[in-house]
Amino acid sequence: MADRIVAARVIVTSPGRNFVTLKIETASGLSGIGDATLNGRELAVASYLADHVVPTLIGRDPAAIEDTWQYLYRGAYWRRGPVTMSAIAAVDVALWDIKAKAAGMPLYQLLGGASRESMLCYSHANGADIEAAMDSVAGHLAQGYKAIRVQAGVPGLKRIYGVHSAHGDSTQHQDRPDEGDWDTASYLRHAPRIFEAARARFGEELHLLHDAHHRLLPNEAARLGQDLEPYRLFWLEDVTPAENQAAFRTVRAKTTTPLAVGEVFNTIWDCQALITEQLIDYIRATLVHAGGITHVRRIADLAALYGVRTGFHGASDLSPVTMGAALHFDRWVPNFGIQEYSIHPNEAAEVFQWNWSFRDGMLHCGETPGHGVEIDETAAAKFPYRRSYLDVNRLQDGTLWNW
C-alpha cells in the first residue's frame, strides 16, 4: 500500500541568519526536509506553506513527486514568483529526500547516478581595496580553493555589494535595510584593475570570477566584458538585470567573457531565451528558489541542449539543506559547471546536521540515504526569527538603483 503524508510543519530559525525549513513525515515513519528560505522575505514563504500548502499535503502519497509539483504549480492558478516557487521547492526537496530514504539510496543515485566524484566550487574573496582583496585571494588559495570570486571596494564609494556588508552576501538583523551607494563610471574604471592585479600576483591558472550584481546597463556590461577579456575570467555574473532577456543579445554580441545569470530566476521561462539563444554560459537558478529538483532538472536539461552549464547559487542565505540537495544534483547533472560555496554561520551547525565536505578545492556529497541533511528542532527553537533585510542601493544623486 502506498505510504502517505501524515504531518508537515514549517520551522523558522535564526542561527546566525534566518532559515525556513519544511519537514514532512509519513505514515511509514520516514521524514524529509526542504529549504524554503527567501532572504529578507522569509515569513512570506513560511505563511504560504503553513497557511496554504501544508493542509493540502496531508494524506498525499509522498512518492507522487511529479503530481504534487504540478498540483502546487498548476493547481494554485497563481504561477511563478519567488514566494510560490520557494514554497514548492521546499515540498519538492523534502519529498525527494523521503523517496531516496525509502529507496535506501543517496539522492544522486536516484537522479541517475554519479557523473563525477566531486564538484569544483568557488568561494568569495573581497577587500576594501585591491590590496586587501588580493590578500583575501591568497587566504583562499591557502585553503585549497581552485576558483575564487573577487570583489573589491571602488574608490569614492562607501558601501557596495560583496565588500562592505557584514558577510558580503548577508542580511543584517534590523528594522530596515541599510543603503549602499553606486557610481557606474567609477566601477567600470576600477574593476579591470582588480583582475590585472590578480593575474599579476597569482598567475594564469586560478579560476577568477566576478559578480556585477545587476548594476549595469547592457552597453556598459558589454564594455566591462571587453575590458576583462585579457584576464580570462571563469565567469562574469549578473551584469545587467535579466527580466529583459533580450538585453543579453547586446552583451553577448560584444564580448567573449563567459556570462553567468540566474540566481533570482524562479522558472524555466526566466531563462528560456537566454538558454535557447545561447546568450549565457552558466545558469545559476537554484533548487530553493526555482521549484526544487523537479523543476531545476528541467532547466538543466534544456541548458544541456545548448551548451549551457550549471553554476548554482550557493550564498550563505541558501540553507545547509539546499547545499546538501544541490551537491547531489551537481554530482549527477551531466552539464555541471561549478558550485558556489559559502560557509554558514557557526550556529547553523547546532541546528542542521550535514555530511558534505570540502577538500582540496572540491565539494564531496555524502553517501547516506536522502540528501544527507537533518534538522534538530529543539536546537532550532533556541534561535528565534529576527527581522532582516538585504541592502538597497542608490546612485550618488539619491536615485534608487539595482542592488
Shortest gap between Cβ of 284 and ligand GCO (angstroms)?
8
Of 233 and 390, which has the nearer Cβ to ligand GCO?
390
Distances (CA, A) of 254 to 108, 153, 218, 258, 263: 38, 26, 10, 11, 23
Shortest gap between Cβ of 277 and ligand GCO (angstroms)?
23
Shortest gap between Cβ of 35 and ligand GCO (angstroms)?
13
Of 98 and 260, which has the nearer Cβ to Mg ion?
260
Nearest to 10 by CA among 41, 29, 42, 39: 42
Of the residues 124, 164, 210, 213, only one is catalytic, namely 213
Region near ligand GCO per CB under 6 A, out of 2-10, 182-190, 309-317, 330-338: 309-317
Has 289 been annotated as catalytic? no
Find out whether 98 and 26 touch, Cβ atoms under 8 Å.
yes
Mask 340-359, x = binds ligand GCO (CB under 6 A)?
x-------------------
What is the C-alpha separation between 338 and 282, in angstroms, rounded?
Answer: 9
Mask 211-230, x = binds Mg ion (CB under 5 A)?
x-------------------
Residue 213 is given by DSSP the state T
The number of residues that bind Mg ion (CB under 5 A) is 1
Select the residue whose beta carbon is closest to ligand GCO and give its number.
Answer: 169
Shortest gap between Cβ of 68 and ligand GCO (angstroms)?
27
One of 183, 211, 270, 330 touching ligand GCO (CB under 6 A): 211
The item of Mg ion, ligand GCO, none sharing an interface with residue 169, based on CB under 5 to 8 Å by kind, is ligand GCO
The item of Mg ion, ligand GCO, none sharing an interface with residue 281, based on CB under 5 to 8 Å by kind, is none
Shortest gap between Cβ of 44 and Mg ion (angstroms)?
21
The number of residues that bind ligand GCO (CB under 6 A) is 10
Per CB under 5 A, does 183 bind Mg ion? Answer: no
Beta strands in 3-60 (DSSP E): 5-13, 19-26, 31-35
Question: If you count them, how many residues does the chain have?
Answer: 403
Contacts of 243 (CB under 8 A, 6+ apart): none
Per CB under 6 A, does 286 bind ligand GCO? Answer: no
Shortest gap between Cβ of 380 and Mg ion (angstroms)?
27
What is the C-alpha separation between 237 and 235, in angstroms, rounded?
Answer: 6
Of the residues 161, 231, 282, 341, only one is catalytic, namely 161
Cell numbers 545558469: residue: 283
Has 77 been annotated as catalytic? no
Question: Within its chain, how far is the Cα of 102 from the centroid?
Answer: 27
Phi then psi dihedrals of residue 211, to 5 deg: -120, 115
What is the C-alpha separation between 44 and 346, in angstroms, rounded?
Answer: 26
Beta strands in 193-330 (DSSP E): 207-211, 235-237, 259-261, 282-283, 309-312
Of 170 and 267, which has the nearer Cβ to ligand GCO?
170
Nearest to 288 by CA among 105, 83, 109, 113: 83
Task: Please give the grid coordinates belonging to residue 282.
Answer: 552558466
Calculated CA dihedral for residues 112, 115, 116, 119, nearest 10 degrees: -80
Per CB under 6 A, does 39 bind ligand GCO? Answer: yes
Q: Would you please indicate which residues are annotated as catalytic (active-site) residues?
A: 161, 213
Residues near ligand GCO, by CB under 6 A: 39, 169, 211, 213, 263, 313, 315, 317, 340, 390
